């Protein structure tokens, strides 16, 4: 099943997709919801960010090729983390599918995408074991962890480098049937493929991340956990269009625009 948040003339709905039609509901997809008598064609709505999380978790270094290439670009030797590296991002930065990523006027040239699988939590969880961890997942979507590498290097926090407005495209929908086994993450820039990697080639898997995070933080329905990326990105310029496809999850597409002042 695919769940969307979408708007029609500025009014926001939550609904599920069936045969290219959106059926609006009242209530949260992961809770008690009732179908209401409103349908729209997928083509006539504006797709919105599929969920506004209370807390926005993000795995840091979680794919080996990414870790090696990042280290190489800094002239350092790669250090593989010994435990799941839990981080977090700021909600202001979320952007819908087909929205424009605005590169700030004072940003440098090293604007990079990071193609990520996103887990959407459906049940409250604290101190959940790895064995039970997947039971608190509602579904999956796609995220693009846009980063400004010069700021990431010099700033003491990831605020500017990763959390400028529009730096976190997420969507287009939440899919509750996704299976990670055999899934590929594929990125194109202006329709040219830049990378394809096995989505499940994670250093620490989803169950490990959920269990580890829940040792310190209560996960709530609607929270999201971004699972990290592999490889590195070319520099993305104003006018470029980045598309991220994950098998079974569809495609997240965003154009980049350079702000002029």
Least Å distance, CB 177 to a second copy, is 28
Question: Which residue's entry shows tokens 């995408």?
Answer: 113
Tell me the window of 55-63, 69-77, 200-208, 238-246 that interacts with a second copy (CB under 8 A): 55-63
Q: How many residues bind a second copy (CB under 8 A)?
A: 34
Among the listed residues 93, 95, 115, 206, the single contact to a second copy using CB under 8 A:
93
Measuring CA to CA, which residue among 10, 9, 33, 5 is closest to residue 22?
5
Residue 81 binding a second copy, by CB under 8 A: yes
Alpha-carbon distance of 65 to 78, in angstroms, equals 10
Tell me the window of 18-26, 27-35, 53-61, 188-196 that interacts with a second copy (CB under 8 A): 53-61
Residue 152 binding a second copy, by CB under 8 A: no
Residue 247 binding a second copy, by CB under 8 A: no
Alpha-carbon distance of 137 to 158, in angstroms, equals 27
Tell me the CA distances in angstroms from 234 to 68, 149, 186, 188, 195, one per residue in order: 16, 11, 14, 11, 10
Residue 96 binding a second copy, by CB under 8 A: no
Answer for the pair 202, 63: CB distance below 8 angstroms, yes or no: yes
Alpha-carbon distance of 99 to 167, in angstroms, equals 11
CB nearer to a second copy: give 37 or 82. 82
Least Å distance, CB 34 to a second copy, is 23
Residue 85 binding a second copy, by CB under 8 A: yes
Residue 28 binding a second copy, by CB under 8 A: no
The footprint of a second copy on residues 107-146 (CB under 8 A) is 126
Among the listed residues 8, 42, 86, 183, the single contact to a second copy using CB under 8 A:
86
| DSSP-assigned letter for residue 91 | G
Least Å distance, CB 154 to a second copy, is 10
Residues counted in the chain: 261
Among the listed residues 23, 88, 183, 257, the single contact to a second copy using CB under 8 A:
88
SS3 of 139-170: the string is EEEEEECCEEHHHHHHCCCCHHHHHCCCCEEE
Record the tokens describing residue 120, joined without a space.
């959407």
Alpha-carbon distance of 65 to 60, in angstroms, equals 13
Binding mask 200-239 for a second copy (x = CB under 8 A): -------------x-xxxx-x--x----------------
Burial class (CB in 10 A: 0-12, 13-18, 19+), 48: buried
Query: Can you give the binding site for a second copy, defined by CB under 8 A?
Result: 52, 54-57, 60-61, 81, 85-88, 90-93, 104, 126, 155-160, 163-165, 213, 215-218, 220, 223
């Amino acid at each position: 099943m695919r769940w969307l948040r979408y708007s029609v003339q500025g009014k926001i709905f939550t609904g599920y997709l069936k045969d290219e039609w959106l059926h609006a509901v009242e209530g949260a997809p992961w809770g008690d919801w009732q179908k209401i008598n409103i349908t729209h064609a997928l083509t006539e709505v504006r797709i919105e960010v599929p969920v506004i999380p209370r807390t926005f978790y993000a795995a840091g270094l979680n794919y080996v090729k990414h870790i090696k290439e990042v280290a190489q670009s800094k002239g350092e030797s790669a250090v593989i983390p010994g435990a799941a590296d839990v981080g977090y991002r700021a909600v202001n930065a979320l952007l819908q599918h087909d929205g424009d990523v605005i590169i700030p006027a004072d940003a440098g040239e090293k604007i990079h995408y990071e193609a990520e699988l996103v887990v959407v939590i459906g049940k409250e969880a604290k101190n959940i074991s790895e064995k039970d961890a997947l039971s608190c997942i509602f579904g999956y979507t796609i995220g693009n962890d846009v980063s400004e590498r010069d700021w990431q290097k010099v700033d003491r926090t990831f605020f500017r480098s990763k959390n400028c407005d529009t730096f976190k495209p997420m969507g287009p929908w939440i899919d509750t049937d996704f299976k990670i086994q055999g899934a590929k993450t594929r990125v194109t820039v202006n329709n040219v493929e830049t990378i394809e990697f096995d989505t499940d080639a994670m250093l620490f898997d989803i169950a490990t991340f959920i269990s580890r995070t829940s040792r310190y933080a209560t996960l709530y329905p609607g929270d999201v956990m971004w699972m990290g990326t592999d490889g590195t990105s070319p520099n993305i310029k104003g006018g470029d269009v980045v598309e991220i496809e994950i098998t079974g999850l569809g495609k997240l597409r965003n154009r980049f625009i350079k702000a002029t002042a």
